[in-house]
Amino acid sequence: MPGIVVETEGEFAGWRRFDTTDTFDALIGPFYFKQMEDGSTRGAFRAQQKHMNMGGRMHGGCLMTFADIALFQIAYQEMEGMRGVTVQLDSTFVDAGRVGDLIEASGQVVRAGGSLIFARGQITCEDRTLLTFSGIIKKFRPKG
């Protein structure tokens, strides 16, 4: 299980990220997350060429990956220290991101039960919505 690193320098100083080098998150990220004063969580990353498709716009798979990771950050408090898996992730592509853009995610938990968490959010760049998403997380305790 990767640890958490708090950035101390640069654009994302004070933001958290996963400390991993051998996962898909590390390949496509890094993605950063920060707890806001109102208790919500905001995610962000700076768009790079590796995030673009052949048309020069952000690849939809990158946005959906960021949405999936953001879903868990949005639901973090409701996870109660348990693990989870995404059982459903719906998304609507609205606009495109480009190299250099600051891409951000925010959202809220709609409902949290004993084993399921329902959440929704949006990925934005400045005042533009790039993607809206909603998802369901199934909580579980690891075996063994």
pTM for the model stands at: 0.91
Distance CA 49, CA 56 (A): 8
> Is the pLDDT reported for residue 123 higher than 90?
yes
**Under a CB-based contact definition with an 8 Å cutoff, are residues 138 and 98 in contact?**
no
User: For the chain, which residues make up each domain, given as ranges?
Assistant: 3-140
Buried-state track 42-61, b at ≥16 Cβ within 10 A, e below 16: bbbbebeeebbeeeebbbee
Of 90, 124, 88, 93, give the one whose Cα is nearest residue 106.
Answer: 124
Beta sheet of 116-125, edge-to-edge order: 3-6, 16-19, 32-35, 41-46, 102-112, 116-125, 128-140, 83-93
> Is the pLDDT reported for residue 30 higher than 70?
yes
pLDDT (tens digit, 9 = 90+) per residue, 41-52?
A: 999 999 999 999
> Is the pLDDT reported for residue 86 higher than 60?
yes
Question: pLDDT averaged over the chain?
Answer: 92
Of 48, 88, 92, give the one whose Cα is nearest residue 71.
Answer: 88
CATH architecture of 3-140: Roll (3.10)
